[in-house]
Structures are given as structure tokens and as C-alpha cells.
A = this chain, B = another copy of it.
Amino acid sequence: MNLKSMEKSNQFVQQNRERFLEELFELLRIPSISAQSDHRPDMVRTAEWLRESLLKAGADRAEVMPTAGNPVVYAEKIIDPAKPTVVVYGHYDVMPEDPKDEWRTNPFEPVIKDGRIWCRGADDDKGQLFMHAKAFEAMVATGELPCNVKFMLEGEEEIGSPSLYAWCEENKELVKGDVILISDTSMISMDTPSITCGLRGLCYMQVEVTGPDHDLHSGLYGGAVANPANVLANLITKLVDENGRVTIPGFYDDVRILTEEERTNFNKAPYDKEEYMKGVGVEELAGEEGYTTIERTGVRPSLDVNGIWGGYTLEGTKTIIPSKAYAKISMRLVPDQNWEKIAQLFEDYFRAIAPKCVKVDVKSLHGGQPYVSPTDLKAYKAAEAAIVDTFGKRPLPFYSGGSIPIVSGFERILGMKSILIGFGLGKDAIHSPNESYGLDQFYKGIDTIIRFYKHFAE
């Protein structure tokens, strides 16, 4: 490893470990849940906090820029217009903490235990975006920053980045750069580092099934009036067949089919079925017939009920035919599926299969296109080299089942590719109760980011 030219930055990180953590804790304590409108003031507070933090870290300019939704934090340091420019993207919004009673600690009060930070957003994405702010600070403080840097931090990623598309359109010149650098993904493991080259797209729907116009007594009417909760169950059942294939007509039309060679390579990623099942706590896996687990989450689309509700759901019993039943249903998409087309296919099909004894309402809540990043980019090579420096191993290219819808938007609107060097791990339990982020992930992440700049500027 030849790190001489950047060694002061990495030393700076070593010397400021505690302070970095204290600052991160301040950030984590703000409950910036984008899905819930009563947290709107928290979103603004988080954006202001990040602006201050980036100014202190050495930005020449830092602004909280309003959008139709939550603000975008923009900051930059231009050391020399002739040098390459890295645009850092991250998001300061987090998932709701629900179900609250499954958290072992307060979801918005970070706690360190077993070498990990336990808090909503510890990984996704406050912990990960903050590594970039601190790497930047270290390079500025030691005079080692080798590139221009621009930060573009949004507060709506978890709800599909509805405002960032327009913001990018309006600020094309402002955020112009050579590559977008993102830490919002995971590695296979600390022993098997990886760079995410593919992301699934997302199409998130909500359906409402209405039976009678008010809750009915299930004794007086049971057997004679269609129950919307039973009907909703039937409709959901009709969305996926017994072989795990989505039944919506046209759903697979645009799915890119891998060659046998591609499939073979794809399945070389390390995978231990027993370990995988233990990690999620199940005794048998399920999914589309004819595909491996890695394929099912990497290159095949899926359909999941994310939430379902209707009728009496509290303690004890209530004998009713509910008036309404609801479900949130989302589909993960793969190249070359288009989420807007899939949303339409879903809606058409759902309406077509609904019986006349109920009314259905279908709406699209958000979506994003799938994304693939080539591995022959200069930025990919720099990320690869930086990971080799820090982890001592060459990272594998990896196809994540997750989605960062805006990434394909960046390519379309800004004409820039994104490099996804995330330091998350499966056990971080992002989106779940008891989210956590390892201190080693955090500090190794900062070190790796500093090294990325060095290699990218070479």
C-alpha cells in the first residue's frame, strides 16, 4: 500500500474519532422521518445542521435549498476548476421507527454497544453520508484534498426522492461534475468487500378495497355481503402464482434475460444458504422457481405486501365486516423494466380482477428505475483501489436487490454515472427495528473515501 501522499488525512481521522462520533450522534438524534408529515420541522432542522457541519468541515459555500418537499443541502469546495469534481450524494431522511415496541433502545437516541452504533439512521443513510463529510474535513484540514467536491444531500430518498428530480433539472450547472459518489448500500461482508453495480427499480402502490359503505355486524350480514378484507386477500393471492411468478400481464416483458455465462458469473458471489436463513430467521426460503437466491434478489423482479390493514385490529374481538381494507404493495424491478409502465400494468390488472361486489382504488405512491453501473469507469477503478488499500482485498462487483431510484435519474438528468461504495452490512437491519452500524464500518469507510479521492485524482 502506498498511502504516503494522503497519510495525514487518515491520521487526522484517528485523532478525531471521538469528536466525529459525538457529531454523528447529534445528527442521529433528529427524527427526520420523511414519510410522516408531522416530522417536517425535523427535516428542516436536519438540513440546517448539515449545512453548518459542512461549512465547519471546510466548504466554501453551503446552502439549504428549498424544494417542493424537504430541502436539499448543497455545499462545495472548488480547489481548481481544472481538477476533477466529485459530487457526493446522500440522504438525511430516515425510515419510520415503527414497530416501536420491537426496539431494544430508543430509536432516536444513539447507543454504543458491542462495537456498534444502535439508532435509526445509524447506517441508512446518516451514518454513511456523514463519513463523506468527515473524510472531506480531514482532507481539507490537512491540505490533502486533491479534487473539487460538491455535496448534494436530500431529505426524501425513503419516499422516492419526489423533489430531487426537479432540483437536478434546475441545478444542472451547479452540480456539474465527473462522477457521483454514494454510500447508501452494503458490502457482502467485511471479509468480502464489494461495490454495488446494479440496483433494482421500485414501483410502490397502495390499494383500497371498499365493500359496504360502513362496517357491518358480521352476524347479521355475514355470508350475504362481500367482505373487503377477504376480497383483498383474494386479489393479493392473484398477483403472484404458485411458482413465485408475478401474474400481472406484461410484467416480465422488459426483463433483461441473462445469458448462461452471465448467470454462472453472477452466482459466483459468496452465498451460504444456512447462514442466509439464520440471518433472517426462517427455516425455508421461497421465491421464483428456477432461480437462485442471488438471482432472485439481484436480477429478477419481485412483489411484496409492505403493509396490510382493515377492520378491527386491537385487543380482543369485534364481529364486523369492515367497510374497507388496504394494502401497500411494492415491486422491485430490474433492467429494462420501467416503473411507470409497471404501475399502469398493476393498476389495470388489479381493477380487472376485482369482483363487482367491491369497489377498488389503486394509486402509485412512488417509483424509480433500475440502474446498472459499468465496471470499466475510472471512478470504479479508483473505488476498487481504495477498497484494496483499506480492506486488503479486491472488491467484487455486486448487484443489490435494493433501490435508490434517483440514481437512474442522475444519469438521465445530469449525465453522470454513480459509484456506489457503501459500507453497510446485512446485519445493520436498515428499515427495521434496532438498526445499527459498526464503528469499524464507519471508520474504515472514512479511510476508504479519503483513498478514493487520491486514486481518482491520480
The answer to whether residues A223 and B36 also contact, given A320-B432, A328-B312 and a CB cut-off of 8 A, is no
B432 and A402 contact, CB distance less than 8 A? no
Instruction: Please encode chain A, from 199 to 226, with 1 for each CB lying within 8 Å of some chain B CB and 0 for all others.
Output: 0101010000001111111111111111
Instruction: Please encode chain A, from 314 to 351, with 1 for each CB lying within 8 Å of some chain B CB and 0 for all others.
Output: 11111111100111101010000000000000000000
A214 and B432 contact, CB distance less than 8 A? yes
The answer to whether residues A102 and B214 also contact, given A293-B224, A402-B220 and a CB cut-off of 8 A, is yes
> In the complex the two chains form, what is the Cα distance from A373 to B444 in whole Å?
78
Chain B residues with Cβ under 8 A from A431's Cβ?
A: 215-218, 318-320
> In the complex the two chains form, what is the Cα distance from A320 to B432 in whole Å?
8
- Interface centre among A221, A230, A288, by most chain B C-beta atoms within 10 angstroms, is A221
Chain B residues with Cβ under 8 A from A224's Cβ?
A: 285-287, 293, 296-297, 302, 401
Any B CB within 8 A of the CB of A86: no
Stretch at the interface among A42-50, A92-100, A140-148, A384-392: A92-100
* A158-195 contacts to B (CB < 8 Å): 158-160, 186
Any B CB within 8 A of the CB of A311: yes
Any B CB within 8 A of the CB of A400: yes
Size category of the binding interface on chain A = 35 or more
The answer to whether residues A214 and B429 also contact, given A226-B282, A308-B308 and a CB cut-off of 8 A, is yes
> In the complex the two chains form, what is the Cα distance from A452 to B234 in whole Å?
49
- Interface centre among A233, A281, A283, by most chain B C-beta atoms within 10 angstroms, is A233
B326 and A330 contact, CB distance less than 8 A? no
Any B CB within 8 A of the CB of A413: no
Any B CB within 8 A of the CB of A301: yes
> In the complex the two chains form, what is the Cα distance from A330 to B230 in whole Å?
12
Any B CB within 8 A of the CB of A26: no
Any B CB within 8 A of the CB of A440: no
A312 and B306 contact, CB distance less than 8 A? yes
A308 and B309 contact, CB distance less than 8 A? yes
A314 and B98 contact, CB distance less than 8 A? yes
Contact of A312 among B98, B102, B200, B297 (CB under 8 A): B98
Chain B residues with Cβ under 8 A from A312's Cβ?
A: 96, 98, 306-307, 328
Instruction: Please encode chain A, from 288 to 305, with 1 for each CB lying within 8 Å of some chain B CB and 0 for all others.
Output: 100001001100111111
Nearest-Cβ distance from residue A433 to partner chain B, whole angstroms: 6
B222 and A304 contact, CB distance less than 8 A? yes
Contact of A304 among B34, B227, B303 (CB under 8 A): B227
Chain B residues with Cβ under 8 A from A227's Cβ?
A: 304-305
Any B CB within 8 A of the CB of A236: yes
Which chain B residue shows the least CB distance to A160? B317
Contact of A318 among B98, B356, B434 (CB under 8 A): B98
Any B CB within 8 A of the CB of A357: yes
The answer to whether residues A402 and B287 also contact, given A227-B304, A306-B320 and a CB cut-off of 8 A, is no
Which chain B residue shows the least CB distance to A212? B280
> In the complex the two chains form, what is the Cα distance from A160 to B317 in whole Å?
9
Nearest-Cβ distance from residue A351 to partner chain B, whole angstroms: 15
B286 and A357 contact, CB distance less than 8 A? yes
B301 and A223 contact, CB distance less than 8 A? yes
Any B CB within 8 A of the CB of A366: yes
- Excluding A217-B432, A316-B365, 10 further A-B contacts by CB distance (< 8 Å) are A98-B318, A214-B434, A215-B432, A216-B280, A222-B330, A233-B234, A234-B236, A306-B319, A307-B313, A308-B308
- 3 tightest Cβ-Cβ pairs between the two chains A and B: A213-B281, A223-B302, A35-B316
A→B interface (CB under 8 Å): 34-37, 95-96, 98-99, 102, 158-160, 186, 200, 202, 204, 211-227, 229-230, 232-234, 236-237, 240, 244, 280-288, 293, 296-297, 300-322, 325-328, 330, 332, 355-358, 365-366, 400-403, 426, 429-434
A selection of 28 A-B contacts at a CB cut-off of 8 Å is A36-B315, A96-B314, A98-B314, A99-B215, A200-B219, A204-B317, A217-B402, A218-B306, A219-B400, A223-B244, A223-B302, A223-B401, A224-B287, A224-B293, A224-B302, A227-B304, A229-B304, A230-B240, A232-B233, A233-B305, A286-B355, A307-B310, A309-B310, A313-B326, A313-B328, A316-B365, A317-B366, A319-B431
